[in-house]
């Protein structure tokens, strides 16, 4: 048995920065620009456990990697550090780098078979029906805090809404939602409990699969089961997991980022309310400036190759960076300038592994934000914008809470306009404390 060799170091004079820890988590965008200044379009970095990787910063280079699976494969079994025993089973990134029978970990004919099952099942949804689900759940979430005149738009709205809609679309009971929200967020952060969260999600989805085999319906899970690709149980569970986790994280972040801009950027809000920018245009602007995933794991070099002037060795891991690529000065010399009618951002990747559910994500965010702003047009931030806190991880960065205040109103009644509610006595405004998921879930079910 061979002894594992130490991780390969970057070339002399090219120090590798950690993509985890205090510096990376404090301001990922600043770190990306520092790396771009030091290394150009491709930079050596370290992920958890100080394992080496390459971060792709250039817009063109991101597209090159995403569109050429012959050079940069999606199969993590090619990862040299894993082959040589340097990646323990409980590594924080294991839920996202350990090979599974899922479409985003394969290429070629296997990828076409598995992705075909997903895309053809997703295409069976009526998008007007999806928007009706979004509107219904958005109204229910707003009803849970509308009479108080204050709330937290992250914990009370942006996070629960995508999972509510997705549990409906996959045919799961609504009671699945609270713990799936917590587990999904924990899993993608790469925390010490990410592996346990992944196991919980997997067990929950196996239970759902058994339910749908016994009683199929008009939902994504049932359509996947009857698809001619004939997926195995393991393949079914992993693809349900992929769809739920990807839709939850990206859409929750897109909603939160859009609402933060509405609340903190007067020009953005004026353009939106004045009709100079439509809500779909606003979402695309957010996808350019603050993509839901800052980095994407991962690609592995199929052989020695060059990328952006850097020599990549076979088995090296590469991380795509929509956050850095969207701000590449070669494609956006002025990042302060608004971009309208342009979807060439990297938020949903590109090539054969481009996100198949991006239109559903857009529909959830568009309808959800529109419903909220129509119900509560006088929303304003309840704390100075500078006091907002952020949490970052290897893949994501999002605002922790968006405490807001507004004129209290009544809950919705079918066919009528929400009635105003007598305001509470005036007093000092304090940030709304994020409520636990079970709390908002109990409130929601209590109104159903």
114: CATH: 1.10.630.10
**Residue 50 counted as domain residue:** no
**Residue 42 counted as domain residue:** no
**Total domain count for the chain?**
1
Domain that holds residue 368: 102-294+336-447
* Residues of the chain where predicted confidence (pLDDT) is lower than 50: 1-13, 414-448
3-state SS assignment for residue 297: strand
**Residue 376 counted as domain residue:** yes
Note the pTM of the prediction, 2 decimals: 0.84
Contacts (Cβ under 8 Å, ≥6 apart) of 337: none
Output the furthest CA–CA distance in the chain (Å, rounded): 75
**Residue 151 counted as domain residue:** yes
**Residue 75 counted as domain residue:** no
C-alpha–C-alpha distance, residues 119 and 447, integer Å = 34
- pLDDT tens digits, 425-442: 333 333 232 333 334 334
C-alpha–C-alpha distance, residues 134 and 306, integer Å = 45
Helices then strands, each counted (H, E), the chain:
17, 13
| E strand residue ranges, 133-243 | 150-152
Is residue 223 a contact partner of residue 239, using CB atoms and an 8 Å limit?
Answer: no
Beta bridge partners of 56: 42, 320
Of 386, 371, 288, 392, which is closest to residue 332 (Cα–Cα)? 288
Per-residue b or e along 345-368, where b marks 16 or more CB atoms closer than 10 Å to that residue's CB: bbbbbbebbebbbbebbbbbbbbb
**Residue 68 counted as domain residue:** no
Q: In what order do the strands lie in the sheet with 150-152?
A: 150-152, 403-405, 380-381
Rounded alpha-carbon distances, angstroms, from residue 319 to 43, 264, 420: 10, 31, 50
DSSP state of 44: E
Beta bridge partners of 420: 409
Q: How many residues appear in the chain?
A: 448
Helix axes 127-143, 358-375, angle to 10 degrees: 40
C-alpha–C-alpha distance, residues 334 and 297, integer Å = 28
Please report the pLDDT score of residue 201 as a whole number: 87
Of 412, 415, 448, 359, which is closest to residue 128 (Cα–Cα)? 359
User: Which residue shows structure tokens 């794991």?
Assistant: 297
C-alpha–C-alpha distance, residues 241 and 337, integer Å = 37
**Residue 305 counted as domain residue:** no
**Residue 324 counted as domain residue:** no
Is residue 321 a contact partner of residue 295, using CB atoms and an 8 Å limit?
Answer: yes
For residue 114, what is the enclosing H or E element? helix 108-122
User: In Å, how far from its chain's centre is CA 56?
Assistant: 19
């Amino acid at each position: 048995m061979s002894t594992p060799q130490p991780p390969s170091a970057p070339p002399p004079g090219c120090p590798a920065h950690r993509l985890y820890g205090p510096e990376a988590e404090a301001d990922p965008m600043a770190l990306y620009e520092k790396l771009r200044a030091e290394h150009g379009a491709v930079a050596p970095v370290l992920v958890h456990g100080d394992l080496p990787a390459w971060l792709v910063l250039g817009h063109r280079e991101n597209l090159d990697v995403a569109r050429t699976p012959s050079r940069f494969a999606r199969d993590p079994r090619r990862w040299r550090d894993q082959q040589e025993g340097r990646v323990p089973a409980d590594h924080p990134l294991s839920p996202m780098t350990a090979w599974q029978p899922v479409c985003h970990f394969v290429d070629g004919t296997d990828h076409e078979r598995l992705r075909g099952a997903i895309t053809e099942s997703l295409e069976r949804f009526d998008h007007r029906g999806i928007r009706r689900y979004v509107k219904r759940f958005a109204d229910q979430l707003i009803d849970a805090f509308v009479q108080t005149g204050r709330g937290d738009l992250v914990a009370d709205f942006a996070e629960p809404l995508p999972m509510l809609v997705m549990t409906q679309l996959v045919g799961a009971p609504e009671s699945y939602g609270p713990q799936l929200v917590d587990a999904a967020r924990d899993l993608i952060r790469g925390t010490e409990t990410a592996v346990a969260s992944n196991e919980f999600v997997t067990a929950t989805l196996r239970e759902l699969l058994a339910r749908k085999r016994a009683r199929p319906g008009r939902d994504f899970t049932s359509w996947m089961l009857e698809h001619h690709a004939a997926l195995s149980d393991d393949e079914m569970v992993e693809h349900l997991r992929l769809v739920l986790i990807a839709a939850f994280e990206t859409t929750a972040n897109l909603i939160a980022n859009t609402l933060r801009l509405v609340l903190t950027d007067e020009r953005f809000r004026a353009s939106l309310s004045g009709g100079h920018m439509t809500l779909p245009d606003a979402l695309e602007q957010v996808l350019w400036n603050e993509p839901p995933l800052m980095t994407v794991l991962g690609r592995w070099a199929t052989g020695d190759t060059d990328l952006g002037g850097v020599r990549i060795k076979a088995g090296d891991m590469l991380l795509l960076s929509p956050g850095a690529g969207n701000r590449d000065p070669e494609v956006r010399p002025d990042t302060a300038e608004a971009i309208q009618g342009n979807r060439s951002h990297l938020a949903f990747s590109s090539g054969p592994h481009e996100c198949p559910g991006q239109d559903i994500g857009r529909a959830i965010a568009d309808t959800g934000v529109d419903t909220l702003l129509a119900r509560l047009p006088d929303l304003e931030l309840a704390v100075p914008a500078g006091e907002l806190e952020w949490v970052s991880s290897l893949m994501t960065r999002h605002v922790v809470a968006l405490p807001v205040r507004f004129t209290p109103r009544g809950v919705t009644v079918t066919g009528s306009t929400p009635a105003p509610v007598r305001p509470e006595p005036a007093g000092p405004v304090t940030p709304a404390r994020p409520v636990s998921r079970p709390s908002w879930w109990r409130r929601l079910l209590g109104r159903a």
